[in-house]
């Protein structure tokens, strides 16, 4: 029988496969991965989905410009997104493609039929604006100086007969679900943004385009002259990957029964309206449950400038990971970019953070603690009375800067802050209180890593060993046990670094496996590192930059 407590279904948005992945999408998948890994550590049954959106006018147009057929074009780019996920050590269970005619097309057509059965699809003429870049129909209110706000280009003026979806029918129901918290949107600013949109009244939206204009996409059921509009098609990926439309008793169908509704969709702010208005309306119409939460992240600039090919400041996340290490990139994205807000990527700042927080902080602490064990205790965890450990204030009595009074109680507080921060989707704060130097979001919280480095400086085990071996053993034990807990703390964020620390703390593979089988609550208990455990200092985790 499974000992998993409950299911947790998390998704990223599906990346548009008209270009290579950028740093903004790397932010999204890393944030989602941290949440997925955290829930796995809670022993929940996690299903984590990502994928690529491969249909639509923009794909067809770009492929034509490059003189390549659309399928070959999206195949080339989809591979790049899968490579990004692998490069960033993303733990997704599945990767869905909207050109998948076996899994995705049948599900998209199935939900279309459900909307028809609900009386929510009708045919009408559309006369208005269409932005190819957004893959969206725009109104006069959406334009600034006659241009799309996102792409700064004039949209196309089109007039054609399409199928429409009765989005307006569901305004009150969506509004109610958001207000009462059943459909939660984080952060609050994004919730207020969509509430203002809905209060003005949602308008029916075009859900198809003539095949003569767009022949690249999912065909509309029972009308070969129309192609399904990209958002109706794309949003369905969250259930097509689970086998929606398959028989419930089949392997694919059972996934939908098991994991839907999604516990959280992680998306960018530019697609909030589609996920907070169109998607829930589609689900209402189809008689399906709504996702529980939307976590909306912001945009990344580069040295304060908007990232664009014309400015030559496009950042390739794979190149950054290859140069500095995947965990260095994950750390920067998770800690330096405000969760739920906009942030900036600067190589100058990146290297500053790398040196202070990772190289001189976490890497230095790991090396110092293990060196002390090797030098004074024969590469073993010191033989101590666990009841005498955990208290560190003895060595700070004459120090005005005493900031780490008790390893035992301080780590308990840190754990509480981490869990509270993650549950509130403040991933930057959660990681910062473990590793960072200085204030964390102006709350005067110093990270546990710099506190422990100070503990080494103030206790001076190289001096203490000459006077009192027992006290020195307690100091070194406190450091190693704190390091074990830090390895658990950073595990959702920096899994590779966590593994490296565990490998050094537990040379015996069986002992390491036993440690990693612990629940997160068990891992927090002081004294998890047993006296006599063999350790071995490994290679430098964060090498000096050239």
DSSP string across 527-539: T-SPTT-B----S
* Confidence (pLDDT) at 147: 77
Query: In this model, does residue 413 exceed pLDDT 70?
Result: yes
Among the ranges given (73-82, 298-307, 356-365, 519-528), the one the predictor scored with the smallest mean pLDDT: 298-307
For residue 132, how many C-alpha atoms fall within 13 Å in the half-sphere facing its CB? 14
* Confidence (pLDDT) at 231: 85
- Paired strand residues for 47: 9
Among the ranges given (253-267, 273-287, 383-397, 430-444), the one the predictor scored with the smallest mean pLDDT: 430-444
Please give the structure tokens belonging to residue 398. Answer: 């004459």
* Confidence (pLDDT) at 229: 87
Asked if residue 429 lies in contact with residue 421, where contact means CB atoms within 8 angstroms, the answer is yes
- List all residues 6 or more positions away from 290 whose beta carbon is below 8 Å from its beta carbon: 177, 182, 183, 261, 280, 283, 284
DSSP at 172 = H
Question: From CA 477, how far away is CA 202, in angstroms rounded?
Answer: 61
3-state secondary structure of 236: coil
Query: In this model, does residue 342 exceed pLDDT 70?
Result: yes
Superfamily of domain 350-523, CATH level 4: Isoleucyl-tRNA Synthetase; Domain 1 (1.10.730.10)
Asked if residue 357 lies in contact with residue 314, where contact means CB atoms within 8 angstroms, the answer is no
The sign one gets for the Cα dihedral 317, 488, 35, 357 is negative
**pLDDT tens readout for residues 133-182:** 666 667 667 777 777 766 677 777 777 889 999 999 999 999 999 999 99
pLDDT > 70: percent of the chain: 90
**Omega within 30 of 0 (cis) for the link into 536:** no
Question: From CA 214, how far away is CA 102, in angstroms rounded?
Answer: 21
Question: From CA 18, how far away is CA 176, in angstroms rounded?
Answer: 36
Question: From CA 283, how far away is CA 290, in angstroms rounded?
Answer: 6
Does this model's pTM top 0.85?
Answer: yes
* Domain extents in the chain: 350-523
- Residue 313 class from Cβ within 10 Å (0-12 exposed, 13-18 middle, 19+ buried)? middle
Asked if residue 482 lies in contact with residue 448, where contact means CB atoms within 8 angstroms, the answer is yes
Count of Cβ atoms closer than 10 Å to residue 12 Cβ: 24
Query: Highest mean pLDDT: which of 144-158, 239-253, 489-503?
Result: 489-503
Asked if residue 454 lies in contact with residue 404, where contact means CB atoms within 8 angstroms, the answer is yes
Asked if residue 488 lies in contact with residue 520, where contact means CB atoms within 8 angstroms, the answer is yes
- Paired strand residues for 158: 128
- List all residues 6 or more positions away from 289 whose beta carbon is below 8 Å from its beta carbon: 260, 261, 283
Mean pLDDT of the region 247-263: 83
Q: What is the mean pLDDT of the chain?
A: 90
- Residue 370 class from Cβ within 10 Å (0-12 exposed, 13-18 middle, 19+ buried)? buried
Mean pLDDT of the region 469-481: 94
Asked if residue 138 lies in contact with residue 177, where contact means CB atoms within 8 angstroms, the answer is no
């Amino acid at each position: 029988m499974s000992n998993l407590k409950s299911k947790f279904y998390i998704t990223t948005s599906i990346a548009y496969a008209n270009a290579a992945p950028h740093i903004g999408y790397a932010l999204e998948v890393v944030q989602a991965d941290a949440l997925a890994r955290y829930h796995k550590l809670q022993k929940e049954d996690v299903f984590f989905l990502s994928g690529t959106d491969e249909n639509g006018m923009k794909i067809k147009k770009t492929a034509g410009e490059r003189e390549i057929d659309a399928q070959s074009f999206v195949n080339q780019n989809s591979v790049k997104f899968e490579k990004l996920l692998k490069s960033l050590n993303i733990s997704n269970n599945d990767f869905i493609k909207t050109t998948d005619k076996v899994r995705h097309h049948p599900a998209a057509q199935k939900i279309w039929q459900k909307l028809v059965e609900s009386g929510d699809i009708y045919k009408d003429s559309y006369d208005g604006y269409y932005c190819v870049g957004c893959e969206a129909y725009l109104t006069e209110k959406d334009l600034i100086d006659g241009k799309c706000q996102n792409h700064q280009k004039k949209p196309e003026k089109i007039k054609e007969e399409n199928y429409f979806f009765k989005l307006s029918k569901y305004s009150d129901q969506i509004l109610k679900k958001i207000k009462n918290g059943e459909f939660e949107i984080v952060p609050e600013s994004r919730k207020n943004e969509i509430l203002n949109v809905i209060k003005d009244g949602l308008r029916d939206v075009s859900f198809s385009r003539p095949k003569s204009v767009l022949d690249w996409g999912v065909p509309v059921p029972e009308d070969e002259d129309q192609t399904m509009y990209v958002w109706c098609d794309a949003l369905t990926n969250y259930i097509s990957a689970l086998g929606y439309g398959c028989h419930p008793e089949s392997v694919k169908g059972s996934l939908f029964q098991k994991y839907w509704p999604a516990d959280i969709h992680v998306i960018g702010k530019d697609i909030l309206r589609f996920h907070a208005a169109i998607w829930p309306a589609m689900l209402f119409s189809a008689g399906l449950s709504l996702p529980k939460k939307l976590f909306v992240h912001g945009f990344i600039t580069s040295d304060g400038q908007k990232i664009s090919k014309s400015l030559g400041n496009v950042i390739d996340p794979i190149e950054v990971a290859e140069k500095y290490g995947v965990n260095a990139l994950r750390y920067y994205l998770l800690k330096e970019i405000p969760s739920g807000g906009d942030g900036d990527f600067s190589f100058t700042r990146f290297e500053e953070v790398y040196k202070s927080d990772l190289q001189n902080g976490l890497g230095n602490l790991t090396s110092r603690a293990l060196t002390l064990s090797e030098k004074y205790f024969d590469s073993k965890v010191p033989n101590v009375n666990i009841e005498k450990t955990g208290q560190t204030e003895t060595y700070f009595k004459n120090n005005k800067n005493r900031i780490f009074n008790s390893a035992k109680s301080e780590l308990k507080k840190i754990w509480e802050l981490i869990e509270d921060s993650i549950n509130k989707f403040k991933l930057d704060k959660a990681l910062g209180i473990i590793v960072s130097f200085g204030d964390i979001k102006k709350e005067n919280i110093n990270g546990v890593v710099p506190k422990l480095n100070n503990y080494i400086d103030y206790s001076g085990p190289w001096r203490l060993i000459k006077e009192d071996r027992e006290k020195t053993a307690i100091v070194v034990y406190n450091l190693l046990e704190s390091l074990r807990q830090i390895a658990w703390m950073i595990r959702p964020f920096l899994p590779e670094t966590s593994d490296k620390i565990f490998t050094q703390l537990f040379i015996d593979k069986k002992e390491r496996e036993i440690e990693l089988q612990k629940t997160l609550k068990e891992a927090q208990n002081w004294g998890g590192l047993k006296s006599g455990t063999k350790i071995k200092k490994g290679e430098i985790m964060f090498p000096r930059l050239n």
